[in-house]
């Protein structure tokens, strides 16, 4: 198992709509995982590697509430224990695969790949905007050809919008305004207020606005895997809650050292009945995410080209990134201490 990842956390494994009785394979933190549903509809996550001779269980089929390996027919229940070996009656005790805690909520399927005794359901982030009738959601998900850290950094330093997203959500106002960064436990919030500015192109179109507003975006990063971006515009000098509000939910799931899954939900509290606004956002946000994917693929190549010892030159706008890295280091170190203490 790689020591590079925090495993004692919830990662998004899939949208609810992606999982049914056909097994779905995901690689998360270099661990192969198969996700499927029982007959009652409960989502199950098991290690996607048969205990017999390592065939991927996802290449087999779901049988009753478990899964049958496609190679020699071993069957494994939702708890990972082998329940049947077609060729013999005796089931060796070692014939089992890891079973991972799963939480399904508001259309997201989360898995906990680390110490199962530490899987704490109360730590699944708040995503209620997805099911609240006061909000409408547009979702996208993309495999990104970059390490997860680059996406996390990207979300904490939104000054990239001024350069990467000029036709949609970017303008010069962003980098002209500084950040206020706060830390609470394992959550970093990087908040930027832009008083008396115009709405960016994509929002102005969807909100049908003109004139000057107080614009804001605050990235709330639940280290290491989830960001809630509290964004919007409001009247000059008016409370944020009065304005056009956007909650962007971002599930960032490492695949391996150079690849990640990005699960994205854009929830708005305005234009709820406007199919046109939704259609504009589906396309506009696809553009935004593709721009990020293209930029971060290039940045990943740059990272790989670095000489040993070459490090970032962080500036004031990177204050959220710096705080998040400290939390990541602390969580990783604590987890490694716990892992070493476990019986081999
Ligand atoms: S490898 Fe799975 S049953 Fe043989
Ligand atoms: Fe971006």
pLDDT in tens, 137-189: 999 999 999 999 999 999 999 999 999 998 888 788 889 999 999 999 999 99
Nearest CA to ligand 1 atom 1: 53
Q: What is the mean pLDDT of residues 92-113?
A: 98
Torsion of Cα atoms, 326 then 327 then 329 then 332, to 10°: 180
Looking at the fold, whether 233 and 86 belong to one and the same domain comes out as: no
Which ligand sits closest to the CA of 70?
1
Residue 343 located in a structural domain? no
Looking at the fold, whether 235 and 322 belong to one and the same domain comes out as: yes
Atom of ligand 1 nearest to the CA of 53: 1
Looking at the fold, whether 236 and 263 belong to one and the same domain comes out as: yes
Which pLDDT does position 86 carry in this prediction?
98
Residue 4 located in a structural domain? no
Looking at the fold, whether 223 and 146 belong to one and the same domain comes out as: yes
* CATH number of the domain to which 290 belongs: 3.90.380.10
Looking at the fold, whether 117 and 138 belong to one and the same domain comes out as: no
Atom of ligand 1 nearest to the CA of 85: 3
The residue whose CB lies within 8 Å of the most ligand 1 atoms, and thus the one to mutate among 63, 69, 87, 91, is 69
CA of 162 to the centre of ligand 2 (A): 9
pLDDT in tens, 181-224: 999 999 999 999 999 998 887 777 777 677 899 999 999 999 99
C-alpha span between 256 and 147 (Å, rounded): 7
Nearest CA to ligand 1 atom 4: 72
C-alpha span between 52 and 60 (Å, rounded): 13
Which ligand sits closest to the CA of 169?
2
Q: Which phi and psi angles does 272 have, rounded to 5°?
A: -60, -30
pLDDT in tens, 41-92: 999 999 999 999 999 999 999 999 999 999 999 999 999 999 999 999 999 9
CA distances from 12 to 32, 136, 167, 300 (A): 14, 20, 29, 22
Residue 214 located in a structural domain? yes
Q: What is the 8-class DSSP label of residue 48?
A: S
Atom of ligand 1 nearest to the CA of 69: 2
Residues 6+ apart with CB under 8 A from 297: 144, 145, 146
CA of 40 to the centre of ligand 1 (A): 26
Q: What is the mean pLDDT of residues 318-343?
A: 95
Residue 160 located in a structural domain? yes
Count of domains observed in the chain: 2
What pLDDT band is residue 1 in, cutting at 50, 70 and 90?
Answer: low
Which pLDDT does position 208 carry in this prediction?
62
CA of 1 to the centre of ligand 1 (A): 22
Which ligand sits closest to the CA of 86?
1
The residue whose CB lies within 8 Å of the most ligand 1 atoms, and thus the one to mutate among 34, 61, 72, is 72
Of residues 262, 269, 194, 264, the one with CA closest to residue 229 = 264
- Domain stop point among 97, 123, 149: 123
Residue 310 located in a structural domain? yes
Q: pTM for the full model?
A: 0.95
Residue 39's domain spans which residues? 10-123
Residue 263 located in a structural domain? yes
Looking at the fold, whether 164 and 292 belong to one and the same domain comes out as: yes
CA of 116 to the centre of ligand 2 (A): 34
Looking at the fold, whether 73 and 93 belong to one and the same domain comes out as: yes
Cα torsion 25, 285, 244, 165: sign: positive
- Percent of the chain exceeding pLDDT 70 equals 99
Nearest CA to ligand 1 atom 3: 72
């Amino acid at each position: 198992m790689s020591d590079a990842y925090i495993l004692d956390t919830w990662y998004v494994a899939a949208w609810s709509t992606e999982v049914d009785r056909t097994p779905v394979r995901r690689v998360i933190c270099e661990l192969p995982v198969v996700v499927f549903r029982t007959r009652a509809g409960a989502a199950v996550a098991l290690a996607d590697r048969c205990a017999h001779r390592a065939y991927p269980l996802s290449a087999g089929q779901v049988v009753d509430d478990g899964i049958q390996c496609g190679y020699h027919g071993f069957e494994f229940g939702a708890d990972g224990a082998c329940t049947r070996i077609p060729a013999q009656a005796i089931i060796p005790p070692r014939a089992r695969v890891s079973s991972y805690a799963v939480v399904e909520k508001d259309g997201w399927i989360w898995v906990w790949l680390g110490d199962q005794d530490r899987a704490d359901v109360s730590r699944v982030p708040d995503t209620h905007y997805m099911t609240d009738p006061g909000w409408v959601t547009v979702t996208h998900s993309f495999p990104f050809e970059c390490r997860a850290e680059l996406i996390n950094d990207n979300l904490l330093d939104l000054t990239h919008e001024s350069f990467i997203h000029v036709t949609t959500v970017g303008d010069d106002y962003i980098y002209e305004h500084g950040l206020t960064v706060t830390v609470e436990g394992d959550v970093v919030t990087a908040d930027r207020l832009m008083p008396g500015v115009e709405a960016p192109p994509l929002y102005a179109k969807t909100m049908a606005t003109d004139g000057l507003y107080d614009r804001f975006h605050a990235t709330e990063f639940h280290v290491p895997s989830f960001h809630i971006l509290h964004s919007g515009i409001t009247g000059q000098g008016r409370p944020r809650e009065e304005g056009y509000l956007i909650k962007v939910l971002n599930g960032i799931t490492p695949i391996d050292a150079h690849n990640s899954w990005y699960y994205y939900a854009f929830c708005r509290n305005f234009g709820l009945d406007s199919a046109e606004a939704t259609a504009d956002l589906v396309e506009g946000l696809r553009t935004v995410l593709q721009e990020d994917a293209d930029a971060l693929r290039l940045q990943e190549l740059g990272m790989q080209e670095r000489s040993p010892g070459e490090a970032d030159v962080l500036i004031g706008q990177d204050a959220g990134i710096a705080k998040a890295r400290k939390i990541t280091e602390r969580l990783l170190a604590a987890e490694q201490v716990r892992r070493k203490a476990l019986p081999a």
